[in-house]
Structure 1
Amino acid sequence: MKKSESLFPAKVLLFGEYGILENSSGLSIPHNFYKGTLKLHYKFNKIHKNEEILSSNYKIKKYYNFLSFLKKKQILKKLNLKQLYQDIQNGLFFHSNIPQGYGLGSSGALVAAIYDKYAKNKLKKCFINENIIILKKIFSQMESFFHIKSSGIDPLICYLNLPLLIRSKTDISIIKIPKKRKGKGAIFLLNSGIPSKTSSVIKIFLEKLKNNKFKKILKEEFIIYNEKCIENFLKEDFKILLKNVKKLSTWVFYHFRPMIPKNIYEIWEEGLLNNIHYLKLCGSGGGGFILGFTPNYNISKKKLKQYTMEVLFRF
């Protein structure tokens, strides 16, 4: 396969939304149903132009300006921007089925693709912690164009295409996740039908962090629930996992309300009250996909029949 045809998957952050920005744990997995690749459209200057190509090419052009700024400031040095500019003029675009604004890392996949194609002396997809941390730092700088503040995890997942366990900013490891089973329980994606602007909801979070009381309960409650969920999932203790996800879901419902799409409030609360399923943010929230955890997927599917759902994991 040619470099220009390299495919970069979407990602799902199972646990760690917002907490990662505060140097706490996270668990992220690639989602290969959705993917993207950089392509050159050689008929770019013809009269009939595809809307997807035009839109993507324009966005990459704006992104190129940002990368040029980083390079001038000596923040980002090792990208072949001359070649990138030439390819943009020749119709470079990102051909992708990853929905934008849905929490699946559409910008992360683009960043990974740009790095893969244009980085000079790029770090290979090796699994040494030191190299992973260097890559994460590079991706954090590159993705900040899209999200104000980026952990760099999304592009890292899209680039490596392997599950990552994040313990801190300097402790990230590739792991094996439990094998999928054929049980009644499931982790699923629920489509809210509303795209999210990640930068807007991250602004809300950063404002909340200025409140010391909020910062305290984030560390003493949210981060602890989150870490227990990761531990339960990796140990395949799904019964306890559901109990801890309920605590996490309840906390998010009361403290991250602006990040929950309004059309999801009622089913979120109903799931908690009746123990049907427990919902949580998929990434930054504000719209897009919501993650669901249920002891019985068939019951949840009937309750949520008006929504598009997709199973990620059975247990």
Structure 2
Amino acid sequence: MKGPLFYSKILLFGEYGIIKDSKGLSIPYNFFKGALKKDENGDEKAKESNAGLRKFAKYLEQLEQDNPGLVSFDLDSLRKDVEEGMYFDSSIPQGYGIGSSGALVAAIYDKYAHNKITVLENLTREKLLRLKEIFGKMESFFHGKSSGLDPLNSYLSLPILINSKDNIESTSIPSQNTRGKGAVFLLDSGSSGETAPMVQIFMEKMKQEGFRKVLKDQFIKHTDACVEDFINGNVKSLFGNLKQLSHVVLDNFKPMIPKEFHKLWKHGIDSNDYYLKLCGSGGGGYILGFTEDIEKAKKALKGYNLEVVYNF
């Protein structure tokens, strides 16, 4: 047995903001992927994954009981496959902000959900929201609370535009200019991050009126502008808004940025060689970078591992 492939994702814009109804833009990233496989004599990693799936199957049983009418699974088949050594074979690094648990959730839904909503049908807003709700509840097993966006992106393998909590749509983004100097890149921080504690810090900060004001008047404003600019291909305006956004994050989301990157972050803003932002919840994993000149950025970030994901 080898299931279909599910890809990682990159939330280009919207981390934390979408909790408070900012816009967001998420794109599939096909460099990393995962699939369900079976092997009774798997290695340690496979055994660990199999043990995780066993717990997940129990959780899904409870999920079904607690949410009648939302989703039901072929739990007998799932349990049988887990008994036979099924695991999730994935190259998606965990704790890196690119949707490792999202791909697993998508794979399980695809294989075991009854009456599943498929990619081939007309995906109305209602269907997208229903999928997002199902995926959010499924992925909560891993993060405590999930928006459901990562699995949705992985499942559909399409860019997703979040207009607000109740308004999401699949969208298209401008075609890449493979010869372009501008780029979106991933910067490896060298350590993984945990989502739950980062979200906890954010929720604590939200209790302060000053932080809420910054979030609404600056963070969400620039995030929304970046989404609009990116989708419409307004590169000049995009980089103006990115600079502002990078600044707001450095000033107000310091705990989410690994300490050794504070200087690097500021250098990008001061030099305009690149602008950094959080990729997912932060705390480690990947940092997302944007530059109008990738060669300049590579020079400025010499010694760091850069992975280009999109060219302007």
TM normalised by structure 1 equals 0.95
Query: Corresponding residue for 1:151?
Result: 147
Matched, 1:58 2:54: no
> Structure 2 residue aligned with 1:287, among 261, 284, 289?
284
Query: Corresponding residue for 1:305?
Result: 302
Matches within 5 A, 1:17-36: 17-36=15-34
Shift of residue 77 of structure 1?
4.2
Secondary structure of the corresponding residue to residue 80 of structure 2? helix
Structure 1 CA distance, aligned partners of 2:157 and 2:259?
A: 33
Query: Corresponding residue for 1:113?
Result: 107
Secondary structure of the corresponding residue to residue 37 of structure 1? strand
TM normalised by structure 2 equals 0.95
Structure 1 CA distance, aligned partners of 2:236 and 2:244?
A: 13
Query: Corresponding residue for 2:13?
Result: 15
Structure 1 CA distance, aligned partners of 2:79 and 2:221?
A: 46
> Structure 2 residue aligned with 1:174, among 170, 183, 187?
170
Query: Corresponding residue for 2:81?
Result: 87
Shift of residue 74 of structure 1?
3.1
Query: Corresponding residue for 2:247?
Result: 250
Larger mean CA deviation between 171-180 and 7-16 belongs to 171-180
Structure 2 CA distance, aligned partners of 1:306 and 1:65?
A: 45
Across the two proteins, how many residue pairs are aligned to each other? 308
Larger mean CA deviation between 75-84 and 180-189 belongs to 75-84
Structure 2 CA distance, aligned partners of 1:38 and 1:142?
A: 17
Query: Corresponding residue for 1:205?
Result: 202
> Structure 1 residue aligned with 2:64, among 71, 94, 107?
71
Secondary structure of the corresponding residue to residue 101 of structure 1? coil
Structure 2 CA distance, aligned partners of 1:111 and 1:56?
A: 13
Shift of residue 23 of structure 1?
2.0
Shift of residue 273 of structure 1?
1.2
Structure 1 CA distance, aligned partners of 2:197 and 2:17?
A: 17
Shift of residue 106 of structure 1?
0.2
- What is the letter of the counterpart of residue 128 of structure 2? I
Structure 2 CA distance, aligned partners of 1:147 and 1:216?
A: 27
8 Å contact from structure 2 (residues 102, 151) kept in 1 = yes
Secondary structure of the corresponding residue to residue 5 of structure 1? coil
- What is the letter of the counterpart of residue 15 of structure 1? F
Query: Corresponding residue for 2:269?
Result: 272
| Structure 2: segments with no counterpart, 5+ residues | none
Matches within 5 A, 1:227-238: 227-238=224-235
Shift of residue 66 of structure 1?
1.9
Matched, 1:224 2:221: yes
- What is the letter of the counterpart of residue 164 of structure 2? S
8 Å contact from structure 2 (residues 133, 148) kept in 1 = yes
Larger mean CA deviation between 61-70 and 74-83 belongs to 74-83
Matched, 1:260 2:295: no
Structure 1 CA distance, aligned partners of 2:184 and 2:282?
A: 17
- What is the letter of the counterpart of residue 194 of structure 1? S
Secondary structure of the corresponding residue to residue 154 of structure 1? helix
| 1:4-23 CA-partner distances (Å, limit 9, x unpaired) | 42110000000000111112
Structure 2 CA distance, aligned partners of 1:16 and 1:244?
A: 13
| Structure 1: segments with no counterpart, 5+ residues | none
| 1:162-204 CA-partner distances (Å, limit 9, x unpaired) | 0010001221111110111122211111111110111111111
Shift of residue 73 of structure 1?
2.2
**RMSD over aligned Cα, in angstroms?**
1.3
Query: Corresponding residue for 2:133?
Result: 137
